[in-house]
Amino acid sequence: MKADWGTGAWLKGTPGPEIVKELTPRKGDIIVEGKMTLDAFHSTALDYLLRANQIEYVAFTGFHTNWCVESSARSAYDKGYRVHVISDCTATDTAEEQNYAEKWDLPEDRESHDIQGISRFPRIGRHRRRTARRGGRGMRLARRMAIAGIGLAAAWMLLCPRGGSGGADKVKVGFMFGMTGAASPIGPVQLDGAKLAVKEINAGGGVMLGGKKVPVEFVVRDDETKPDIAIRRFRELLTEEKVHLIVGQTFAPISGR
The DSSP symbol for 82 reads E
* Nearest alpha-carbon partner for 58 in 12, 7, 127, 11: 127
Integer Cα distance of 130 and 30 in angstroms: 18
**Residue 167: predicted pLDDT:** 60
**Residue 194: predicted pLDDT:** 86
Three-class DSSP category at 27:
coil
**Do the Cβ atoms of 207 and 200 come closer than 8 Å?**
no
Integer Cα distance of 172 and 151 in angstroms: 12
Q: Average of pLDDT values for 35-62? A: 86
Domain 2-133 has CATH 3.40.50.850: yes
Q: How confident is the model at residue 221 (pLDDT cuts 50, 70, 90)?
A: very high
Q: How confident is the model at residue 77 (pLDDT cuts 50, 70, 90)?
A: confident
Q: Average of pLDDT values for 151-178? A: 71
| Cβ within 8 Å of residue 134, ≥6 positions away | 54
**Residue 135: predicted pLDDT:** 44
* Same fold across 2-133 and 137-255: yes
6 vs 57, higher pLDDT: 57
Mean pLDDT of the chain: 76
- Straight-line distance from the first to the last Cα atom of the chain, in angstroms, rounded to the nearest whole number: 30
* Nearest alpha-carbon partner for 147 in 95, 97, 201: 201
**Residue 196: predicted pLDDT:** 87
Q: How many CA atoms lie within 13 A of 217 on its CB side?
A: 11
Q: Average of pLDDT values for 51-61? A: 85
Hey, which residues does 85 pair with through a beta bridge?
60, 112
Q: Taking the domains of the chain in order of start, what are their residue ranges?
A: 2-133, 137-255
66 vs 136, higher pLDDT: 66
**Residue 160: predicted pLDDT:** 61
Question: Which class is domain 137-255?
Answer: alpha beta
pTM equals 0.53
Hey, which residues does 82 pair with through a beta bridge?
57
Q: Average of pLDDT values for 152-180? A: 72
| Cβ within 8 Å of residue 162, ≥6 positions away | none
189 vs 255, higher pLDDT: 189
Integer Cα distance of 74 and 238 in angstroms: 40
Winning range, highest mean pLDDT, from 63-72, 126-135, 156-165: 63-72
7 vs 194, higher pLDDT: 194
104-157, pLDDT tens digit by residue?
877 554 455 443 333 233 333 333 333 333 345 566 766 776 777 777 677 666
Query: Does residue 210 come out as left (phi exceeding 0), alpha (psi in the -120 to 50 range) or beta?
Result: left
Angle (CA) 32 27 45, round 5°? 15
* Nearest alpha-carbon partner for 128 in 28, 250, 42: 28
Q: Is pLDDT above 70 for 256?
A: no
